C-alpha cells in the first residue's frame, strides 16, 4: 500500500473547495490551488493524499485518532446503531442504551468520584458546559458571586465563545469580542521560553503560586474554578516542571475552588493512562473530554463532574437549563464505547505507558543533537521540538514563528505530518504507532530539520 494511484477528479474537487469551503484557522484570501492537500485515504498511522503520497500522521489527525485509521469495527458499530436507532434525544426524560452504557463506562474510567457525565458534541462545547456548571454550582450553594474562572495564557480550550474566552490565545481574543466576562489568565509553566535562569522546579512552583496570588488578589469568594490542560497541547506541548501540579492541587484544595482538567488532548491514553489526571495524580472536580473519546470517528465530547458536588447542585438548583440536540447521540455514544473497548482489548494504555512512550522518548531525544534543536521534550505520546539558532541561550530566531512553518512544510514534503506552533514542532501520533513507524517519524523529522537548518542558518 505504499503508493496509491492518483485520486480521480482531484483538481475539480480542489477548485470546488476553493470556491465554497471556508476552512477553519486559515487565511482564506491567500489560499490557492497549490496550497490545498486533498487527503483521500488512511490506514493505521498513515494517510494518503490525492497524488498517491503516503504520509506518516505524526499528529493523529488533530491529536485525536488514538486507535489509528481504518477500523472497520467502528464503522460497523456506527452503521448498526444507525439502523437500530439513528437518533433520539436525551432531553427531558428520554434515554437509550448507548448513552447509559457510555456514562457508566466513563464514570468507571475517570478518577475519584467523577461519576456524573454530561454529553456534548466537541471539546469546545464541553468547555461551555464546564463554565455553566461551575457558575451554576456555586449559585446553587448560595454563592452566586463566585463567577470568576481562572485559566492560563496560551491555553487552548476551543473555538466557541466560552472556549475562546477560557483559552489564552491572544490572536483569538482579538477577533469577535467582547469575550465572556469574569475570566482571567495567569502565566503558563513554560520553562523553555519563560524560565530564564530560574531552576525549572523552582519555576514550576512560581507559576503554580501565580494561581494562589491571583485567587488572593481577586478574593476567593469571587472564584468559581481553575481550568487547565494537564499538558498544554495546541499551546506547544508545554510539559510543566514536576513541581507544578502538586502545588496547584494544594492551592485549589485549600481554597475550595473547583478544578477542571481539560483532557481533550491528554485523555484516552495519550499520556499512558486513561486520563492525564491519573498520570499526574490530580484530583479534578470536573474533566472535559472529546477527541480520543471516539478516536474522532464521530464527533462527541463529555464533561465528568464530581457526583457529590453534582448532587448538591441538583438538590438546590432544580433543572439545569443546558443541553445540545446531539447530547448523547446514540451513534456517537456507540462508537465511543467501541473505541474504549478497542483500547482495552488491545491494551493500548499499558502499551503506551510501558513500551511506546519510553521508546518514543528515547528516539525523539536523539533529535536534540541536531544543531537547530534547543530542546526535545516528551511525555506519553506528546512531543515538542524547540527550534533555535543557538542552543544554550534559548534565544529565538529573529523571524520568530516563521522557521516552524518552514520546517512543517519540509516535513510534509518528506511524508510526515508534524504541526508547527510558532517555532516549536509538535507531535502526537496515534497510540497504535509501531516501533518501525517511530523510526520512520524520527528519520523524516531529522531530514526536515536538516533542510530547515540549511535554509535558515
The answer to whether residue 128 forms part of the interface with ligand PXG (CB under 6 A) is no
The sign one gets for the Cα dihedral 379, 384, 389, 394 is negative
**What residues form DSSP beta bridges with 387?**
373
258, 334, 280: which is closest to 105 by C-alpha?
334
Residues 235, 241, 247, 251, Cα dihedral to 10°: -10
Q: And the C-alpha cell for 37?
A: 492537500
Nearer to ligand PXG, 140 or 428 (CB): 428
Which residues within the stretch 144-173 sit at the binding site for ligand PXG (CB under 6 A)? 156-158, 163
The sign one gets for the Cα dihedral 158, 164, 170, 176 is positive
The answer to whether residue 123 forms part of the interface with ligand PXG (CB under 6 A) is yes
Residues in binding contact with ligand PXG, number by CB under 6 A: 17
389, 361, 363, 362: which is closest to 374 by C-alpha?
389
Q: How far is the CB of 121 from ligand PXG (least distance, A)?
A: 8
Q: Which of 211, 215, 234, 387 binds ligand PXG (CB under 6 A)?
A: 234
Q: How far is the CB of 130 from ligand PXG (least distance, A)?
A: 10
Kindly report the number of other CB atoms within 10 A of residue 221's CB atom.
10
Nearer to ligand PXG, 229 or 247 (CB): 229
The answer to whether residue 264 forms part of the interface with ligand PXG (CB under 6 A) is yes
Q: And the C-alpha cell for 275?
A: 486520563
Q: Are 424 and 237 in contact (CB under 8 A)?
A: yes
Q: Which of 98, 230, 233, 328 binds ligand PXG (CB under 6 A)?
A: 233
Q: And the C-alpha cell for 403?
A: 522557521
Binding segment for ligand PXG among 13-21, 116-124, 202-210, 310-318 (CB under 6 A)? Answer: 116-124
Nearer to ligand PXG, 214 or 229 (CB): 229
Q: Which of 419, 425, 431, 452 binds ligand PXG (CB under 6 A)?
A: 419
The answer to whether residue 331 forms part of the interface with ligand PXG (CB under 6 A) is no
Binding segment for ligand PXG among 123-131, 168-176, 188-196, 432-440 (CB under 6 A)? Answer: 123-131
Q: Helix (H, G, I), strand (E, B), or coil: what is residue 259?
A: strand
**Residues at the site binding ligand PXG, with contacts judged by CB under 6 A:** 62, 122-124, 127, 156-158, 163, 229, 233-234, 262, 264-265, 290, 419
Amino acid at each position: 500500500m505504499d503508493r496509491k494511484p492518483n485520486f480521480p477528479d482531484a483538481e475539480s474537487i480542489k477548485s470546488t473547495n476553493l470556491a465554497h469551503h471556508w476552512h477553519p484557522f486559515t487565511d482564506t484570501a491567500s489560499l490557492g490551488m497549490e496550497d490545498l492537500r486533498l487527503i483521500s485515504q488512511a490506514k493505521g498511522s498513515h494517510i494518503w493524499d490525492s497524488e498517491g503520497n503516503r504520509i506518516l500522521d505524526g499528529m493523529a489527525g488533530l491529536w485525536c485518532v488514538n486507535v489509528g485509521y481504518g477500523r472497520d469495527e467502528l464503522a460497523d458499530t456506527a452503521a448498526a446503531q444507525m439502523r437500530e436507532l439513528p437518533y433520539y434525544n436525551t432531553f427531558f426524560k428520554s434515554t437509550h442504551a448507548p448513552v447509559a452504557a457510555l456514562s457508566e463506562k466513563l464514570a468507571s474510567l475517570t478518577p475519584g468520584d467523577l461519576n456524573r457525565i454530561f454529553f456534548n458534541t466537541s471539546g469546545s462545547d464541553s468547555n461551555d458546559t464546564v463554565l455553566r456548571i461551575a457558575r451554576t454550582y456555586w449559585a446553587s450553594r448560595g454563592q452566586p458571586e463566585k463567577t470568576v474562572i481562572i485559566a492560563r495564557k496560551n491555553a487552548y480550550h476551543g473555538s466557541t465563545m466560552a472556549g475562546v474566552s477560557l483559552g489564552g490565545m491572544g490572536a483569538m481574543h482579538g477577533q469577535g469580542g467582547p469575550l465572556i466576562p469574569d475570566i482571567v489568565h495567569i502565566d503558563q509553566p513554560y520553562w523553555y521560553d519563560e524560565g530564564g535562569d530560574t531552576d525549572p522546579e523552582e519555576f514550576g512552583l512560581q507559576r503554580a503560586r501565580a494561581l494562589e496570588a491571583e485567587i488572593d488578589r481577586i478574593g476567593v469568594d469571587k472564584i468559581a474554578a481553575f481550568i487547565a490542560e494537564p499538558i498544554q497541547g495546541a499551546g506547544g506541548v508545554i510539559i510543566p516542571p514536576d513541581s507544578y501540579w502538586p502545588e496547584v492541587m494544594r492551592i485549589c484544595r485549600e481554597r475550595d475552588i473547583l478544578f477542571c482538567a481539560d483532557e481533550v488532548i491528554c485523555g484516552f491514553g495519550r499520556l499512558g493512562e486513561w486520563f492525564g489526571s491519573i498520570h499526574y495524580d490530580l484530583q479534578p472536580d470536573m474533566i472535559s473530554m472529546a477527541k480520543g473519546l471516539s478516536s474522532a470517528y464521530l464527533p462527541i465530547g463529555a464533561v465528568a463532574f464530581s457526583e457529590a458536588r453534582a448532587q448538591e447542585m441538583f438538590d438546590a438548583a432544580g433543572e439545569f437549563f443546558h443541553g445540545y440536540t446531539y447530547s448523547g447521540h446514540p451513534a456517537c455514544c456507540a462508537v465511543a464505547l467501541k473505541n474504549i473497548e478497542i483500547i482495552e482489548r488491545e491494551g493500548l494504555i499499558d502499551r503506551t505507558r510501558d513500551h511506546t512512550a519510553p521508546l518514543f522518548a528515547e528516539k525523539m531525544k536523539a533529535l536534540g543533537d541536531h544543531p537547530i534543536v534547543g530542546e526535545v521534550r516528551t511525555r506519553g505520546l506528546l512531543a515538542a521540538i524547540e527550534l533555535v539558532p543557538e542552543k544554550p541561550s534559548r534565544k529565538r530566531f529573529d523571524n520568530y514563528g516563521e522557521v516552524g512553518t518552514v520546517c512543517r512544510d519540509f516535513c510534509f514534503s518528506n511524508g510526515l505530518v508534524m504541526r508547527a506552533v510558532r517555532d516549536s514542532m509538535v507531535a502526537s501520533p496515534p497510540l497504535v504507532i509501531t516501533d518501525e513507524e517511530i523510526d520512520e517519524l524520527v528519520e523524516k523529522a531529522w531530514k526536515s530539520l536538516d533542510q530547515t537548518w540549511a535554509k535558515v542558518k
